[in-house]
Chains A and B, each alone.
Chain A
Amino acid sequence: MKMTPSLIVGGSVAIFASVLYIAVLLPWSTTTREPSDIFRWRTPLEERGRQLYVNNNCSVCHSQFVRPIDWGLGAERIAQAGDYIDERPHLLGTQRTGPDLSQAGGEHPDDWHLAHFINPRYVRPESLMPNWEFLGMENIEALIAYVQSLGFKMADYRMERQRYWKEKAIEAYEAGTDANVAWLHEMVPEPWRNLPNPYGTTEAGLKRGQRIYQSFCIGCHGPIGDGMGPAAPYLYPPPLNFTTLKGRGVSGGILYYYIMNGITGTAMPYFKRELESEKIWDVGNYVATHFIGETDAGQPPKGIEASYEPPPGEYPYGVSRLGANER
């Protein structure tokens, strides 16, 4: 084959054209333009937020498609081509230094997002996300509106739920501590309310609980559990002050239930995706012993004791009887 400039240029153009046809034009002309069942159009404010997301390249850390193998945020619905009919440019993303956002709308209320955009570590202490305070309040509001729209109709449904429970939570908070605690207890299903923490207090368990507390809780509830973490000024109702809860019958079950499921409407997220059973009991007991000042850990009814539990005795060598004695 005799290689000449025109052969090289002509051949390259011919190859490029045929590949463009196969790899771009064919999929372009055959991909669905039908909206999926969850699709809706964005509002002008959400569009403005999306433009900020585009201009600041948020997609270098956040993907926007859920895969069949995914767990975690938004993994309730696997992505469909019809979800993307209004994406221009596409924001599929190639990295997850932060979570996938395709179903982020309505996972948290707006005030959580405000604190998170001001400084992500206020609510997520180990986050690597940059602070976005410099964008200014107006832009942050647009970004929040966009994030809350992710997931389209599914997000709208979640947002409606956030608004409904926020109203209830504010009403309870404004009625005073007694009423608020009573309301919170009432919202926990009966069997959980009467359930003590099944594991006894040990030094190791408290250490693990403290580590979890620092990774997940400290930004709102603060290092001494008084609800005065750095996120607190942005949140309403404010984070619960654990130090006022002594003698109010906060069982291990109640703590577990709220850590697991969160309090929708408030900034308290659910942690069941990030923490497994033992971690939740541990952090619950850490809060109970260190901040509330009483614990029901290891109290009956216990059923069959877990095989690894140390014998009852003097803490830290065995299971503490602190809770039992104080009752």
Chain B
Amino acid sequence: MKFEFLKEEPHGTTKAFFLSSAVWMVLGTTFGFIGAIQLVAPELLANIPWIVFSRIRPMHTNAVIFGFVGSGLIGCAHYLVYTLLRSPLYSEKIGKLTVWMWNLAVVLGTLTLSWGYSQTREYAEWIWPIDILVLATLALMFYNLFQTARRRQEKLLYVSVWYVFAGLVFTFFIYFFGNAVWNPATGSITGMPDGILAWFYGHGVVGLFLTPLAVAIAYYVIPIACRAPLYSHTLSLLGFWSILMIYTHIGAHHILQAPTPTWLKVIAITGSIAMLLPVSAVLVNLWLTMRGRVANMHATIGGKFVFAGILWYLLTCLQGPLQSLPSIQKVTHFNNWVVAHAHMGVLGFSGVIALGGIYFILPRITGRSLHSEFLAEMQYWLVLLGMAGFFTVLTAAGLIQGHGWLQGETVYRMLPQIHIYMVLRLAIGVLIVSGAILGLYNIFMTLYGSRGKEGLS
């Protein structure tokens, strides 16, 4: 069989993004695992430059955000757009090209970080050439999907489609400005404004890239899985426009305790509290769609993942506004509490929904059931238990650190106090990495294995 770089096949782009997501989930979680080892036993992997903790941590965060969750959500987004608009993808060739470019960006980003080239601002660590590659890929993706929308058979745009397009537009601009691509050498501006810009980006790249795409998938999967119409168009509109207006303002809550202008802190805090509005609009809408039909959601593994994902969304979005309050940040800032929160947003919410989307869509594009429902169930429980364990352990460690510091203990004195939590976190990491490996095997075999049963069950 000849390998074709831009092979055109039905759903080819979606499939390729799914496979990329599965591969990056294994790599990204493994990077995290290697980092976690170093927080338990700093000498075990000493003097290996390319996996030293401070390099592997951004390798982990970027591979997970862009590689695992990003690819999974983008793959689903392509499928949603051409399915909901009843029109084939404008160009599978461009689609495949974007798959390769996206993966090339994550590979190069990972390698350059590992070699010690970094611009160091969180989630904007990748150096300039990779930023350009990411932006070019996003632009090409937008072009491909927008052309699909222009050729659509379905006149009405379903809410998932709104989120996909808004997500792509916001991601492009926030990536462009956030990485300060007009300053190739540093990828930044100067002084406190750079902190403000960097957190406008750092907050937004999760909230305006991962969140809209994950919400798009939830809006798509839930009515189908429940066999019920969406509860309310008005709530959809409210949730959609309000998240775009509010989420964007609040990045400065990451630097509330720094010399940030006070009025900006006020905007960031009030905006963070106001986030309860878009979140409850979306969740109430989805919840009432599912009312009395939660069992239907759990009839398929895809639906199960999506349901779990929106539960984590609820928890994340209750915790988020809470921890933006200065009186709470006094304890929680700078410690593992925030790490727990970040995992809840990226793995618990958007990562789990990406997996849900993949498992929901895979049988529909391959025309046969998953290679193994059992392995997918296993992965579901491994990821959920892992996520719940992470959250508990890291939150506990964070509270211990935070209260210790507040009482005048130094950072060094608190390290032995959190050691056991770092050990537990490493152990729990085994669950998540094994879940990722099962997922890769299952997704690969579903796409390319010969054992799959014919016909959609």
B330 within 8 A of A: yes
Q: Is the CB of B118 within 8 A of A15?
A: no
A81–B198 alpha-carbon span in the complex (Å): 16
Q: Is the CB of B188 within 8 A of A69?
A: no
Given that A24-B197, A31-B191, A55-B116 are known contacts, is A274 also in contact with B258, CB under 8 Å in the complex?
A: no
Digit string of A123-138 for contact with B (CB within 8 Å is 1, else 0)?
0101111111111000
B200 within 8 A of A: yes
Chain B residues positioned under 8 Å from A207 (CB to CB): none
Q: Which of B283-291, B409-417, B435-443, B445-453 contacts A (4 or more CB under 8 A)?
A: B409-417
B358 within 8 A of A: no
Chain B residue nearest in CB terms to A3:
B157
Most chain A C-beta atoms within 10 Å of own C-beta, residue among B237, B259, B410, B413: B259
Q: Is the CB of A28 within 8 A of B38?
A: no
A26–B259 alpha-carbon span in the complex (Å): 15
A134–B55 alpha-carbon span in the complex (Å): 14
B329-371 contacts to A, CB under 8 A, are 330, 334-335, 338-339
Q: Is the CB of B200 within 8 A of A24?
A: yes
B372-412 contacts to A, CB under 8 A, are 401, 405-406, 408-412
A77-107 contacts to B, CB under 8 A, are 79-81, 83-100
B224 within 8 A of A: no
Chain A residue nearest in CB terms to B257:
A67
B165 within 8 A of A: yes
A120–B196 alpha-carbon span in the complex (Å): 32
Given that A5-B165, A94-B334 are known contacts, is A131 also in contact with B193, CB under 8 Å in the complex?
A: no
Chain A residues positioned under 8 Å from B162 (CB to CB): 3, 8
Chain B residues positioned under 8 Å from A16 (CB to CB): 169-170, 173-174, 244, 248
Q: Which of A58-66, A173-181, A231-239, A310-318 contacts B (4 or more CB under 8 A)?
A: A58-66
Chain B residues positioned under 8 Å from A24 (CB to CB): 177, 193, 196-197, 200
Majority-rule SS of A interface residues: loop
Q: Which of B11-19, B41-49, B66-74, B426-434 contacts A (4 or more CB under 8 A)?
A: B41-49
A85–B259 alpha-carbon span in the complex (Å): 12
Chain A residues positioned under 8 Å from B86 (CB to CB): none
B90 within 8 A of A: no
A8–B198 alpha-carbon span in the complex (Å): 26
Q: Is the CB of A9 within 8 A of B157?
A: no
Partner among A1, A80, A95, A135 whose Cβ is within 8 Å of the Cβ of B335: A95
Q: Is the CB of A95 within 8 A of B125?
A: no
Q: Is the CB of A69 within 8 A of B330?
A: yes
Q: Is the CB of B196 within 8 A of A27?
A: yes
Digit string of A22-42 for contact with B (CB within 8 Å is 1, else 0)?
111011101101000000000
Q: Is the CB of A19 within 8 A of B245?
A: yes
Q: Is the CB of A65 within 8 A of B259?
A: yes
| Number of A residues, CB within 8 Å of B | 78
Given that A8-B162, A27-B261, A57-B55 are known contacts, is A94 also in contact with B169, CB under 8 Å in the complex?
A: no
A189–B52 alpha-carbon span in the complex (Å): 45
B174 CB, nearest partner CB in chain A, Å:
7
Given that A28-B196, A87-B191, A131-B46 are known contacts, is A63 also in contact with B248, CB under 8 Å in the complex?
A: no
B300 within 8 A of A: no
B230 within 8 A of A: no
Partner among B54, B191, B251 whose Cβ is within 8 Å of the Cβ of A58: B54
Chain B residues positioned under 8 Å from A11 (CB to CB): 166, 241, 244
Interface residues on B, range: 35 or more
A71 within 8 A of B: yes
Partner among B38, B116, B174, B191 whose Cβ is within 8 Å of the Cβ of A128: B38
Given that A16-B170, A127-B412 are known contacts, is A95 also in contact with B38, CB under 8 Å in the complex?
A: no
Q: Is the CB of A19 within 8 A of B169?
A: no
B337 CB, nearest partner CB in chain A, Å:
10
Chain B residue nearest in CB terms to A275:
B413
Q: Is the CB of A80 within 8 A of B190?
A: no
B267 within 8 A of A: yes
Q: Is the CB of A127 within 8 A of B42?
A: yes
A63–B188 alpha-carbon span in the complex (Å): 18
Majority-rule SS of B interface residues: helix
Chain A residues positioned under 8 Å from B116 (CB to CB): 55-56
B157 CB, nearest partner CB in chain A, Å:
5
Digit string of B175-194 for contact with A (CB within 8 Å is 1, else 0)?
00100000000111111111
Chain A residues positioned under 8 Å from B280 (CB to CB): none
Chain B residue nearest in CB terms to A69:
B330
A93–B411 alpha-carbon span in the complex (Å): 15
Most chain A C-beta atoms within 10 Å of own C-beta, residue among B49, B122, B177, B258: B258
A81–B260 alpha-carbon span in the complex (Å): 7
Partner among A9, A28, A85, A215 whose Cβ is within 8 Å of the Cβ of B416: A215
A308–B56 alpha-carbon span in the complex (Å): 50
A73 within 8 A of B: yes
Q: Is the CB of A89 within 8 A of B194?
A: yes
Chain A residue nearest in CB terms to B251:
A23
Q: Is the CB of A95 within 8 A of B338?
A: yes
A324 within 8 A of B: no
Q: Is the CB of B410 within 8 A of A86?
A: no
Chain B residues positioned under 8 Å from A88 (CB to CB): 186, 188-191, 194
Given that A61-B54, A85-B190, A130-B53 are known contacts, is A97 also in contact with B267, CB under 8 Å in the complex?
A: no
A121 within 8 A of B: yes
Q: Is the CB of A95 within 8 A of B244?
A: no
A63–B335 alpha-carbon span in the complex (Å): 11
A44 within 8 A of B: no
B195 within 8 A of A: yes
Chain B residues within 8 Å of A, Cβ to Cβ: 38-39, 42-43, 46-49, 52-55, 57-58, 113, 116-122, 125, 146, 149-150, 157, 161-162, 165-166, 169-170, 173-174, 177, 186-198, 200, 237, 241, 244-245, 248-249, 251-252, 254-255, 257-261, 264, 267, 330, 334-335, 338-339, 401, 405-406, 408-413, 415-416
A-B contact pairs, 20 of them (CB 8 A): A5-B165, A23-B264, A56-B116, A57-B58, A58-B54, A73-B411, A79-B259, A88-B188, A88-B191, A90-B121, A90-B188, A90-B194, A94-B122, A95-B335, A97-B415, A99-B410, A129-B42, A131-B46, A135-B49, A274-B412
**Which 4 A-B pairs give the minimum distances between C-beta atoms?**
A89-B188, A19-B248, A28-B193, A90-B194
